[in-house]
Amino acid sequence: MLGRKIITRIREILTKIETSEKFASAKKEVKECCEFFKKGNYEKAIEIGEEIVKKHPDNVLAHLYLTMSYFMVAKFEQSLEHFKVVEKLISNEIDRVSILEVKASLYIHKNDLDKALNLLEEALKLATNAKDRAGIYENMAYIYHLKGDQKKENECIREAFKLHLSHEWNKVNCEA
């Protein structure tokens, strides 16, 4: 899960929590941070986000925007640090698979492939639907590709393909 996929997963997390009153501190500032992020002004979003978390260290939305903003400017260590805070703050609020996938993606970008694989293997054990499991196998295949392990890469691709088929082909009417 790289680039667009990581932002999509974080957006799913945002959607689940942004309506919760539990995370309502500094609404005006978070909205401003969000606007700068959406406009692609990641440095300004980082500046505002960092100000928010100094005053409100438990503001999960600010930490999420910092995670994404640092990711977009290729500061993966800072991105991961803010996501670790997010994980602590919302571990009971959203599904564990999403958190593990985002963390794995951040570790891939940091080139810590073994840590990323461990996280994806944990996510695979928890994932219950074929679509999520297929995506996890695709990410594992990518890591094995980076590691030069073609055999494991191909095994993961086959598993992902089988899961995609089982998920997508169940929708196909085979009657002529």
For residue 40, is pLDDT > 70?
A: yes
For residue 95, is pLDDT > 80?
A: no
E strand or H helix at 100, and its extent? helix 96-109
pLDDT above 70: percentage of residues in the chain: 80
Return the higher-pLDDT residue of 32 and 12: 32
Task: Give the per-residue pLDDT at 88.
Answer: 86
For residue 176, is pLDDT > 60?
A: no
For residue 152, is pLDDT > 70?
A: yes
Task: Report domain 1-93's class.
Answer: mainly alpha
Report field, pTM of the whole predicted structure over 0.75: no
Question: Of 59, 144, 58, 68, nearest to 106 (Cα)?
Answer: 68
Return the higher-pLDDT residue of 26 and 176: 26
Q: What is the mean pLDDT of the chain?
A: 85
Long-range own/partner contacts, residues 49-55 (CB < 8 A, 24 or more apart): 52/26, 53/82, 53/85, 55/26
**Sign of the Cα pseudo-torsion (157, 166, 2, 106, in order):** negative
Q: Over the stretch 102-137, which tens digit does the pLDDT of each residue have?
A: 889 889 988 999 999 999 999 999 988 888 899 899
- DSSP codes joined into one string, 32-53: HHHHHHHTT-HHHHHHHHHHHH
Chain centroid to Cα 50, Å, comes to 20
Tokens of residue 38, six digits: 């959406």
Superfamily of domain 95-171: Tetratricopeptide repeat domain (1.25.40.10)
Residue range(s) of every CATH 1.25.40.10 domain in the chain: 1-93, 95-171
How does residue 166 score in pLDDT terms, banded at 50, 70 and 90? confident
The C-alpha atoms of residue 81 and residue 37 are separated, in whole angstroms, by: 18
Tokens of residue 51, six digits: 């100000």
